[in-house]
Amino acid sequence: MNKKPFSLMNYGNENDIVSLFYVCQQADAEKMPLSEFKRNLTDESVRNMITDFEKQTIIDAQFQVAEKKKSNESENADPVYVKDIAAIIIMNGLDVHFALNEMELYDLPMFLNAYDQKIRHSLESSRLWAFMQVLPHLSKKVKTPKDLYPFSWEIEDQKEQSEKELEEGKATFYAFMKSGKNNSDV
C-alpha cells in the first residue's frame, strides 16, 4: 500500500498503521477502497483493530520460527518485499492461489527454509557428483567433497563450532586451574 516492506514501516506514522490495518483486516470483513476505510475509522474501531491485531499476533507468534541473525546483517541488508519472496517460492513450486490468497505472513519463514534446504541439497548433490568424477585425479589430501569445495554455510557452521569448542576449552582450562589451586592449599 505504501510501497514499503514491513521491515521499514514506521509504527509511529498514522498512515502506515492505517494501511497495515487495512491490509491485515479479517478475510470475512467487507472489502472497500482504502479511502473509504479511512473515512469510516472511529476511535472505537481503531481500538478494536488494535486489540484484534494483538490477539492475532500472539496466536501467530506460536508458529513463528525463531531465527538468529547477526545485528550487522539485518542493518546493512536491502529491504525485502513480500512480493519478491512470494515470487521466489511460487516459481519453485508453491501453488499460486495459496501463496497469494491463503498463506499468512508467518508462513513465509517456513517456506523460505524449505526453499533454502532444496537449493542446498541440489548444490551438495552436484558437488558430490563432481567430486566422484575428479576423485582419481585428486591428491590424497582431498578426502571428502567438503575438502574439494566447502559451501558458505558449511564454513559458517565450522566457525561456530570452532568458537563453541574454544569456549568449552577455556571453561575446562579454568576449571582445571582452579582445581589445582585448591589441591595445593590442602
pLDDT at 22: 76
**Structural domain boundaries of the chain?**
1-62, 67-138, 150-186
Give the pLDDT band (50/70/90) at residue 2.
low
Region label for 85, one of left (φ > 0), alpha (ψ between -120 and 50) or beta (otherwise): alpha
Cβ-count burial of 112 within 10 angstroms (0-12 exposed, 13-18 middle, 19+ buried)? middle
Contacts of 100 (CB under 8 A, 6+ apart): 86
Task: Give tens-digit pLDDT for 98-130.
Answer: 888 888 777 888 888 889 999 999 999 999 999
What is the per-residue DSSP string for 43-100? HHHHHHHHHHHHHHHHHHHTTPPP----HHHHHHSPP--HHHHHHHHHHTT--HHIII
Look over the chain and give the mean of its residue pLDDT values, rounded to a whole number.
Answer: 80
pLDDT at 118: 93
pLDDT at 10 over 60: yes
